[in-house]
Amino acid sequence: MKPLRIAITPGEPAGIGPDLVIQLAQLQHSEQIVVIADPDLLTQRAELLQQPLSLRLFDPDQPALPNKKSELTVLPLSLNDRCEAGILNANNANYVLTTLDYAIDGCCNNTFAAMVTAPVHKSIINDAGTPFSGHTEYLAEKTGTEQVVMMLATEGLRVALVTTHLPLKDVPAEITKKRIKTITRILHSDLQRHFGLSAPRISVLGLNPHAGEGGHMGREEIDHIIPCIEKLSAEGMQLTGPLPADTAFTPKHLSVCDAVLAMYHDQGLPVLKYKGFGNAVNITLGLPIIRTSVDHGTALDLAGTGKADTGSLITALEYAISMAKHNSQGNNDGAS
């Protein structure tokens, strides 16, 4: 099989994203890793980190070749303004978004089999005048996708979310039959398409303590969650629940499921991050393309110090490659 082409966007140029891709270059890879970035930024940061680095300009018309050790293939894009490690510059916000645009377009036209994103700094993009709530929403808008699903994964655990970045007081109103069914169908479909699971087993959590305890602690389970589980189970899905969140993550339950569907952000993700922080990956399901991301932020204080941990980026890259190989799009000539 020909090497896959995987795009990486280094995210906020003043953060650890450039450091991470330079450290990643010190490893041997069997696929072609294409970094969308300013070559001068990478060269300067490599000198600061005292890491060897050679750059090869990306040519989509040439066969994909695995990167050699200490080598990066670069799709060049110039910064708008100077960049100093650890110091934000709003003038470079548009550069960050353009790297994403290049990666999205490349995935949509099969130049790339997948894209991996390093962390961006949301506030600096907003300060520059562009409303930006995050990678997930940006990718959905750019690809014309109505509904996407956030799933984080680490060794032995996958957690998907019905709701994401909402105040806790607003969550119950969003636990609707329509939303639960839509999210579950996307999760089920992408577990089949990207992970090779022909009949994925999904554990669905309740919203309330003890999954509502028969309605005594809330009716969301009775009115919304249980009817959805029954409806989707009748369609052939293997669903279990609603399970109380305080017992669903025990070995007994995790041994018989492929993914956990949590109702809100802090119901499922603290467990996953406790289990795998530094070696976890954020995956956007429901897109027409494959996108994985690190599970951490820009860490401005670590930029240029050589102390950034590549564990999450390596995991995100490994997941992107594995998903691309399970996806039929990853086997055509355009993505290889």
- Would the annotation count 216 as a binding residue? no
The answer to whether 136 is annotated as binding is yes
| d(C-alpha 112, C-alpha 323), whole Å | 13
Q: Is 142 annotated as a binding residue?
A: no
121 is in an annotated binding site: no
Residues sharing a CB contact under 8 Å with residue 213, sequence separation 6 or more, in sequence order: none
Residue 265 among known ligand-binding residues: yes
Residue 256 CB contacts under 8 Å (≥ 6 apart), including other chains: 201, 240
Alpha-carbon span 169 to 106, nearest angstrom:
39
Nearest to 138 by CA among 192, 191, 97, 182: 97
- Known binding-site residue numbers for substrate: 135-136, 273, 282, 291
- Known binding-site residue numbers: 135-136, 165, 210, 265, 273, 282, 291
- Known binding-site residue numbers for a divalent metal cation: 165, 210, 265
